[in-house]
A and B are shown apart, each in its own frame.
Chain A
Amino acid sequence: MKYICSICGYVYDEEAEGVPFDSLPDDWTCPGCGAEKAMFDPQEESGTGLAGSFERHVSGVATMTKLTPAILSIVFSNLARGSGKQYQGEEERLYGEISSYFSSICDGEEADLGMLQTLVAEDLAQRFPAALESAQERGDRGALRARLWAEKVSRIVSSLLSRYGREGEAMLEGRQVWVCSVCGFIHIGDDAPGMCPVCKVPGWKFDSVS
């Protein structure tokens, strides 16, 4: 039997490893991306296991989102980034200023880890499948790509939060936390990974959090 990582695609082959997947210790993590065991799915012999598991049918989650200050802050920080990529320094600064304005008027949130985990779980169970359905229906490749990257990033966030719940501070002691500046993938380790397992950019695109 083989098991495949739903984030980076690493395949754990029980036969080759000589250890059944279920017997691996709870703190075993994916050699490809550091995800915990729960992020692995059994690979069906017919070969299409991964795609199949995404095809849950979800209806009616999407509602036209209001442009709240929180969303506007993101829209404008993204446009600032876009201006930066086109080397338009003044535009970048002005878009950045407007983004900061909207951040400053957002309703605050409580420091509630449980709520954070709930939102990530809701995304994985409802919002990602809904986005998959609409993007597939319209054949929107760009939306499919962004959705897939974001879903993989949510999986690693969910995985890291549950690992932290089990291992506590020991999980992070003496280790750096790295974030991919392109897709948001999070890596824990002494160095940045050679390549982002989600969006495939080289390691220098990662920043460490201090």
Chain B
Amino acid sequence: MERKAVRNLRLCTKDCLCLYVCPTGASDTEDSVIDVDRCIGCGQCADACPSGAISLVPVKYPRQQEKDEDVVSSLMDLAASRARQEAIAEAVGESGDREGLRRLALAIARSSRISAEDLVREAGFMLPQSDGAIDLLRSLVENPPVSFPVESARRLVSLLERRR
């Protein structure tokens, strides 16, 4: 399976061993993001890094597991409720003059979004390049709602298809 190295910038402690061992110079970039065009996926950098900041990820990911319809609908019900909670909490956060409540409400809004994202992930929208995600984008391109960013969606589909 073809792989590429990626660096987690939050874990990187700039010990630079990856620069010493990389045979192609892919790991030495001005923005610290490993150059995918140069990387040959040999894994030397990941083995050498003392901070566990580099991992090798597949270029193409496996198909996702099939999801049961009842499981999907019960998780989506929860996500829909969370979506409303996010919107209400945002409205609370933006109204009024109580500083503590404002921060608590914004925290609840953020928390609702994070949790809803996790639920939809388990309801079948895990991988950005999965069939389900691409089909959804295609159907939006074919029947776009008013002022939907069609060109962006089209571009996204073409990027994703390359990685499927």
Contact = CB atoms under 8 A, between A and B. Distances in A.
Are chains A and B native binding partners rather than an unrelated pairing? yes
Interface of A: 61-65, 67-68, 70-71, 73-75, 77-83, 86-88, 90-91, 94-95, 97-98, 101, 105-106, 108-113, 115-116, 119-120, 122-123, 127-128, 130-131, 133-135, 137-138, 140, 142-143, 145-147, 149-150, 153-154, 157, 160-161, 164, 168-169, 171-173, 177-186, 204, 207, 209-210
A128 B107 CA distance: 21
21 contacts: A62-B77, A64-B69, A73-B83, A74-B79, A79-B128, A86-B57, A86-B128, A87-B36, A101-B147, A123-B78, A127-B78, A131-B75, A142-B65, A143-B67, A150-B82, A157-B111, A157-B112, A168-B100, A180-B111, A180-B114, A183-B118
B21 interface: no
Given A97-B152, A127-B78, A147-B78, A75 B126 contact: no
Given A74-B117, A138-B68, A186-B111, A164 B101 contact: yes
A88 B24 CA distance: 21
B109 to A, nearest CB: 9
Contact of B77 (A61, A78, A83, A91): A61
Contacts of A78: 117-118, 120-121, 125
Contacts of B103: 172, 177, 209-210
A150 B78 contact: yes
Contacts of B6: 86-87
Contact of B116 (A74, A169, A204): A74
A68 B81 CA distance: 12
Interface string B126-164: 111000010011001000011111001101100110010
B33 interface: yes
Given A65-B80, A133-B74, A169-B100, 15 more contacts: A61-B77, A62-B73, A67-B136, A74-B82, A82-B128, A86-B6, A87-B33, A94-B152, A95-B156, A98-B140, A112-B88, A138-B68, A146-B119, A171-B100, A209-B110
Contact of A116 (B33, B89, B119): B89
B145 A105 contact: yes
Contacts of B57: 86-87
B121 to A, nearest CB: 6
B16 interface: no
Q: Chain B: interface residue count, which band?
A: 35 or more
Contact of B74 (A113, A131, A179, A182): A131
Contacts of B152: 94, 97-98
Interface of B: 6, 10, 33, 36, 57, 65, 67-71, 73-85, 87-92, 94-96, 98-101, 103-104, 106-108, 110-123, 125-128, 133, 136-137, 140, 145-149, 152-153, 155-156, 159-160, 163
B117 A77 contact: yes
Contacts of B119: 146-147, 150
Contacts of B140: 98
A83 B73 contact: no
A64 B75 CA distance: 10
A119 B33 CA distance: 42
